[in-house]
Chain A
Amino acid sequence: MKPTSAVVTDEALLQNLLGDISLPGNGTPLSVGVLATLGNPQPPAHCMRTCLNSRADAIESHGCPFLVAAAEGRVDDGCLKDGHCPRGYQAAARQIALGDKHAVVVTVGAPTHVDTVAHLFERVTQLLEENTGFAEEMIQNYEQLNLIFDLIPQIAELSDTRAIERLLLQKVRHLLRATSLCVHDSRGGWSWLDEYGEAGAPPPGLSAQQLELVASTVRNTSHIQVATQSEYELLAGALVHLDNAVNVVIALRPSRNGAFTAGDMMLTDSVLAFGGQLIRNNELHERLHALSFQITRALVAAIDKKDHYTSGHSERVGFLTRLIAQEFGLSAAELQITEWAGLLHDIGKIGIPETILCKPGKLTKEEFDVIKKHPRMGYDILKPIASFELVLDGVLYHHENPDGSGYPKGLHGDQIPLVARIIHVADTFDALTSTRSYREAFSYERAYEIIRQDMGKRMDREAAEAFFRAFGKFQENEPEKFERLFLQHREQTDDPA
C-alpha cells in the first residue's frame, strides 16, 4: 500500500515513534525519513538512503522529491510544520534546509489525516523538547562528575595546601577557557595567573575598584557571580579555607569569546565547593601535624628544664635517630615517628627526683634502680597521646640490650623494636661524648671504640653499623650543621681519655 503521508525528521525518537503508526481510516502507513541533505546538491536518493530502513523505498517514491520541490518553491498545498510555521510546507522545508532540526509533516492527498499527524507531532515534539532538556542537564552533570573524578587522584598525590589550590585554579581556568584568573585572598591581596598558569598581571583596562566590588559581593553572598567589564566577561566564586577564610576566584575571558553560561557557573561552583572541602581537610591535617610538633617541642623543653646536664641531649638524639633510621629505608612518616621517639626517649626523667638525676659522682644501687624507672615513666606520660602510639616502643625499650642485660624487660635481640635499638645507639653515643655530673666527655674515637666493642652485646650490630655509616656521611656532607649540633656543645670539654 502506498503511503499517503510522509514525516521527514532527523530526530531518531520521532522516527521510532511515528514509524510504527498507521493512520486511522484506511490504515495507510506513515513514511518516516531523515532529511539531512535538503540543502545539499546530492540527489534525493542519497537522502533516502539514511531513511528508516524498512520504508526507504516508500519514501523514495513519495517523500524526498516532494520536499525538494517544496524547497524550490514548486509546492504549496496542505502541509504543516510545528506551530512555528503555519504557512506551509515550502517555508518548513526551507527551515529544514537552513538547519532547523524540527520535523516537517507532509500530507499527500489526504487532508483528513493532517489533524491526527499534527497532533501526534506536537505531542512528540513536546516530549523531545523535555528530553533535550534532560540531556543538556546530563551533559553538564557528566562534565562535573568527570572533573571531580579526575581531580580526586590528582589531589590525593598532593599534601601541600598551596599546591592543591594551584591545581584547582588551573582546572577552573581550563574549564572556563579563561585567559586569565585572579584570586582576592582573605587578607585583601590580589594575585594573577595568566593563561599558562604562571604568575601574571591584570589585563589592561580593568578597573580595580569594580573587581573589588565583585570580590566583596562573592565574599558576602558566597554565590557565584558573573559580570561584564570593559570587554571582559568575569565569573567569580568562593574558595573557602579553614576558619571561613574566603579566597575569591575570578576568571576572565574576552567578551568576544562569549559570555559565561549557567553551565559554567554550576561547574565552577561544584569544583570550588569540592576543592574547598579538600583544602579544609588538608589544612586541618596540617594543623594536627603542627600540633604534634609543638607538643613534642614542649615536652622536650620540659626534660631540658629538669636536667641541665642533658640540655641539647634530646635534640641530638632525635637528630641521630632520624639519621640512623634513614639507613633502614623507612618511609617519611616512619622517619618522623622515629625522630619523635628519639626526641622524647628520656621524657620519663621528669618523674625522677633531681637529687638523683643531677647527683655528682657514682649512684648507689638503690639510686640507679630509681633511674631505671624512667623508660616506664616516659611510657606512662606519653600513653594518653593517641598519635604517639608508635613513639611508645622507642621510649619504653631504649635501654634494652640485645644480650638481654637491659631494662625494663630484659628483651633479647629481635624482640627489641628497631626504633628502640636505633635510639639506644644514638643515646649511648651522645651520652659518651657529653659531660655528665659524674664524668667528663669521651673523645669521638673512644666513643666509637666503646660502641664497636659492645656490638652484639649491649649494642645492636645493625643499628650500630648504620650509625657509623650515617654519621660519617653527615660529618662529611654537612660540616656546618655538624659543628653547630655537636662540636659547639663540646667546646669547653677537654678530652679526659
Chain B
Amino acid sequence: MSRILVAEDDPHILRLIAMWLKRNGHDVVEARNGNGARDLVVAETFDVLVTDINMPGLDGIQLIEAVVSTGHIHRGIVVLTNRWDHGEIRERLSQWDVRVIPKPFSPSRLSEVVDKLTAVDTSEAPHEGFVPDQSSLS
C-alpha cells in the first residue's frame, strides 16, 4: 500500500480522487489547499503527491517548489491541470520530473500513473529533480 497525499481545493474533486485511489488500494491523505499539503509534507513522508494547480494560498507550483527539497515525496508528483492551459502549465513544470494529467482527468489514467510510480520495482533511478530520502529507499 502506498501513501498518497492529494492536494485539491474543490472538496468534491478531492473526495472523488481520494475515493478512486483508495479503491485502487492506496492509503490516501487529503489536503484541502496548498498550505495544508505543505505542512503535511514537512511533517510526514509520502510516496506520491497528487496536486491541483489552481488553489488559494500556495498554488500547485509553489507547493511543488516547497516540497521537492524536503525529500519527503519518495516516488513522484502528479499534477492535475485544466485542459485549456495544459501547455503553458507543462512549460512551467518542465524543471521538475512531474507527470501532468489534464482535467477533467481520466480516473483510469490517474491510477495508471500512480501505480506506475509506486510499482514495487525500485531499480529505476530516482526521478531527476528529486532529492530522494535514502532511509526510505532501503
Contacts and interface: CB of A to CB of B under 8 A. Distances in A.
Interface residues of B, number: 18
A138 B106 contact: no
Contacts of A146: 102, 104-106, 109
Contacts of B102: 146, 149
A12 B104 contact: no
Interface stretch (B13-21, B54-62, B69-77, B91-99): B13-21
B27 A143 contact: no
Given A131-B15, A135-B19, A142 B104 contact: yes
A50 interface: yes
Contact of A50 (B15, B16, B29): B29
B52 interface: no
Nearest to B29: A50
Contacts, number: 38
Interface string A23-45: 00000000000001000000000
A13 interface: yes
B107 interface: yes
A143 B16 contact: no
B107 A12 contact: no
Interface string A126-158: 000001100100110011011101100000000
Contacts of A139: 16, 19-20, 107
A34 to B, nearest CB: 10
Nearest to B27: A36
Interface string B1-28: 0000000000010011011101000010
A150 B105 CA distance: 11
Given A101-B22, A132-B19, A146-B105, 11 more contacts: A12-B15, A12-B18, A12-B30, A131-B15, A135-B15, A135-B19, A142-B16, A143-B106, A143-B107, A146-B102, A146-B106
16 contacts: A12-B18, A50-B29, A101-B22, A135-B15, A138-B12, A138-B16, A139-B19, A139-B107, A142-B16, A142-B104, A142-B106, A145-B104, A146-B105, A146-B109, A147-B106, A150-B106
Closest 9 CB pairs of A and B: A146-B106, A139-B107, A142-B104, A145-B104, A135-B16, A135-B19, A143-B107, A143-B106, A142-B107
